[in-house]
Amino acid sequence: MSRRISTLAVHAGETRPKPFGALTTPIVQTSTYTFEDTAAVLAFMEQKAAREVAREQGGDLPLRDEYGRYSNPTQKVVEAKLAALEGAEGAILFASGMAAITTTLMTLLSAGDHAVVVQDVYRRTREFAADFLPRFGVKTTLIPIGDRQALERAIRPNTRVIFGESPTNPHLRIMDLEHMVGLARQREILTVMDSTFATPINLRPLSFGVDLVVHSATKYLGGHNDLLAGAVLGSHRLVTAVEATRGLLGGVGSPHDAYLLLRGLKTLALRIQRQNDNALRLARFLAPHPKVARVYYPGLPSHPDYEIARRQMKGYGGVVSFEISGDKEDTSRFVDHLQIPYIGPTLGGVESIVQQQALFVSLDPEERRASGVSDSLVRYAVGVEDADDLIADVAQALDAV
């Protein structure tokens, strides 16, 4: 029977009955798994070989656990749930979102290859692509999001990957996935999309033909600011290749973080619906305010990618970025007068979190300007608080500017 996404968030990937009759999937807190005798070891190795053959053919076979760097029962349940939510054949967990991104790119790219990366991606992703990959003989071209001609011009005969993000951080630009995928398929190029800000509730890039989706599960998927995790999702063939690299590089998460992520996923649909609603209301309040110079939110008709967002997304996300009508000090005064959100560098949890983003980029004004983030930009990641309270709090903080 086909299940809707809210039901999948609660039940997908979990067996019935669970071990010991528990309602909650247990944390299997072990680094290694033992075998009854040598015959069991030989049987396991035969099953492992059969699984490798199946994966080469695009399928998969169940396999018992051997060592914690390769798999864990709690982790497997979370991976199955994430795959169901994203509409993927397979999913694998990592210790962080950056571990997921770096391992994926190092799997798909080799010396002599070229990658196209959207300039508006998370700055650490951009740094890895522009500064780290060249050390291994991989060249990268950064392109502005939304510039179709720039994307087409950037592609070379040796281009292997197009890496994008949607919505982007912090300006919330939206990629036209149909155009990107169509162009990539013509050239036999793989596409990878960071969908952290969207979550599978608002956008499922695989349904548009994207090859791999990555998430910083630390953010919305976990939802409570109490874990670090990342995920990669896609076909069995590609996920298996990334999984093999994870086994070499060791970026696997802990069983306890997997358990926390499993708990957070059960309320994902409820939280995202509330955060979508809160963010849209906040954006609509800010847009006409005389002390706000500009609002970046894809749910507003003024956003440059509004029509793409309407076509691709089921909701516009829980982050609103905006520029205060003033200088750096005015913006700091606004942030400091807010009473509900915490000041911090993350997003996606039940608590609202705000930041004057330029201050987290650099103390050097030139470096801040080069980053494309103005000193007056505020990134407000709304939580699940009452929207009227959030808006009233923003209003009084604007009065202080």
Average pLDDT, the chain: 95
Contact assessment for residue 242 and residue 104, using Cβ atoms and an 8 Å cutoff: yes
- What type of residue is 100? A
Tokens of 212: 């791999």
Minimal CA–CA distance to 231: which of 208, 207, 264, 209?
A: 264
Cβ atoms within 10 Å of 96's Cβ, excluding its own: 18
Burial letters 111-142, b for 16+ CB under 10 A, else e: eebbbbbbbbbbbebbebbeeebeeeebbbbb
Tokens of 301: 């008709």
Write the CA distances from 8 to 1, 77, 85, 220, 224, integer angstroms. 12, 12, 6, 16, 20
pLDDT digits (tens, 9 = 90+) for 176-229: 999 999 999 999 999 999 999 999 999 999 999 999 999 999 999 999 999 999
Decide if 263 is catalytic.
no
Q: Please tell me which residue in 160, 173, 204, 219 is annotated as part of the active site.
A: 219
What pLDDT score does 300 carry? Answer: 98
- What type of residue is 288? P
Q: Please state the pTM of the whole predicted model.
A: 0.95
pLDDT digits (tens, 9 = 90+) for 59-87: 888 889 999 999 999 999 999 999 999 99
Q: Please tell me which residue in 51, 69, 123, 294 is annotated as part of the active site.
A: 69
Q: Which regions in the chain score pLDDT beneath 50?
A: none
> Identical fold at 5-32+67-265 and 269-399?
no
- What type of residue is 261? L
374 CB-contact burial (10 Å; exposed 0-12 / middle 13-18 / buried 19+): middle
| Triad 169, 173, 178: Cα angle to 5° | 125
Alpha helices in 87-170 (DSSP H): 97-108, 123-127, 148-154
What pLDDT score does 14 carry? Answer: 93
Decide if 122 is catalytic.
yes
CATH T-level fold of 269-399: Aspartate Aminotransferase, domain 1 (3.90.1150)
| Triad 245, 248, 252: Cα angle to 5° | 80
Contact assessment for residue 292 and residue 286, using Cβ atoms and an 8 Å cutoff: yes
Of all residues in the chain, the percent with pLDDT exceeding 90 is 89
Decide if 194 is catalytic.
yes
What pLDDT score does 204 carry? Answer: 98
Q: Please tell me which residue in 194, 211, 257, 305 is annotated as part of the active site.
A: 194
What pLDDT score does 62 carry? Answer: 87
Could you tell me the residue ranges of all domains in the chain? 5-32+67-265, 269-399
Contact assessment for residue 208 and residue 181, using Cβ atoms and an 8 Å cutoff: yes
What pLDDT score does 370 carry? Answer: 74
Contact assessment for residue 89 and residue 242, using Cβ atoms and an 8 Å cutoff: no
Contact assessment for residue 340 and residue 385, using Cβ atoms and an 8 Å cutoff: yes
Decide if 220 is catalytic.
no
Contact assessment for residue 211 and residue 191, using Cβ atoms and an 8 Å cutoff: yes
What pLDDT score does 239 carry? Answer: 96
Q: Please tell me which residue in 55, 122, 274, 380 is annotated as part of the active site.
A: 122
Can the peptide bond before residue 17 be classed as cis, meaning omega within 30 degrees of 0?
yes
Phi first, then psi, for residue 4 (nearest 5°) are: -80, 165
Domain range 5-32+67-265, its CATH number among 3.30.930.10, 2.60.200.20, 3.40.640.10, 3.40.50.300: 3.40.640.10
